[in-house]
Chains A and B, each alone.
Chain A
Amino acid sequence: MTLASVRPTSKSMPSFSRRQLFFTLYVVGIASVATANGYLGNTAVPLLVPHPVQVVQGLLMVFVVPGLSLVCVAFPELQSWVERLLASVGISIAVATCAAVLIAALPMGFSRQPLEESLGWVAVTLSLGGLCSARLAPAVEALRAWAVREFRGLARKISIGFTDGAPKRSNPAVSRKHKESDVRRSHVVLRFSFDDKPADPRA
């Protein structure tokens, strides 16, 4: 609720939990596709789903799973679980409505299989993307840190080489400008955040 608690760049949850979540979504998506086909994988044995399971799976596929997959993959800055859940349900309903209308507008017409398959594939694709990004995230982070470290080292070397070992004298006008800028920016911060209230428009 305060500015101090806003960390837009931090991840919303640990990567292990994210991977677990993506894996769950992936399983639900695959189950949805399998149920839509009526068969499990390439086996010729029909998939008989008990009605309570079908109810739970159907409700999840229409109201939660597509949106949750998208939110977890593309919008990690939604920190609060309430916001995440609400956004998931809103996106899922929009996706399911558009998908159902689109399928009904096609020549094949509206039926269970294409709808369930399309929603299932949305969940599978997004969760696979999320899984990949979650697994690759530490490697990418390490690569980025290495690149930054190398760049800074290189810049330092160039700077030392340019001034021939002597530290470069700073420009007093520039440093004064920076200080003024700091003061001004800190005013902005204090105005609207630290007193925990909206800025007084009369001020």
Chain B
Amino acid sequence: MRNGEVLLRVENLKKYFPLRAGVFKKVVGWIRAVDGVSFEVFSGETLGIVGESGCGKSTLGMTILRLLEPTEGRIFFAGQDITRLPPAKLRPIRKDMQMIFQDPFSSLNPRMTIQAILEEGLRVHRVVPRDAMQKEVEMLLERVGLSRDYVRRFPHEFSGGQRQRISIARAIALRPRLVIADEALSSLDVSVRAQVLNLLQELKREYSLTYLFISHDLAVVRQISHRILVMYLGKVVELAPKEAFFARPLHPYSVALISAVPIPDPDVRKVRIILSGDVPSPLQPPPGCRFHTRCPRAQEVCAMTEPPLLEVEPGHFVACHFPGSLTLEGTSG
């Protein structure tokens, strides 16, 4: 597949979780974690998915990989509809889609050596012949900046940053086409985070990877992404090329999100747009536009009608009745 072709397409994807209560665990409601999300990911790009806790970004990542079964909607990977593929048919595709999780302490089996962790996928998917396995594992370790002597060690012998490197080695071992990184840098300290971020960038070039980079950290997302998708309460509110997004965010939520990030420079004075209130529950999302309860520009129509996601400029999508009505003028120096 050439760069720029559609590698992943998600159509009206929904994932609802039942809320149960009482002795008989009756379903009393549905948590609409992902509620009608559509977008495409092009081969070779990094799409950053941002939003606050509870916006559904992690659920979205897991549902795309079919680690969670979608409630509704369709997922196409490399042109093939994988939404309802049975496990046997899904397995060969899994090799092409890998995931890196937030917590390197719980995502590596503590009873397995690094060798066993890295070999597992290679063996299941028969990527390299048995006699080449050792060499391959050592190569992977060195590629992520760890010593080949570590193969016989266990995860607990490593720091958080080193473990995340091991998770990355495991993810790239199968030469996937798509890597979904879910808060992959969030548990790391500042100095180590920069190392791992740079490593992800290098690997992407080297292995022609496509990333879906899920994070709450806008600054990290800006560093790594080509395009940015913003979620709020299970919905996409904005999707745009990175430059356009940061220069001219059109959704009031995006504007508030950008303005809320403190800049590590005392000379930069920002105009803060401080949103009032909390994120409403995904159990009972507000009617109309889900952001209207916190939106500084909400009008009557916002509480009545849900705004569709529309392309207002080439490649720039926004779901708002009054897009661009807030500007970031004077917010960066």
Are these two chains actual partners, yes or no?
no
Chain A residues within 8 Å of B, Cβ to Cβ: none
Chain B residues within 8 Å of A, Cβ to Cβ: none
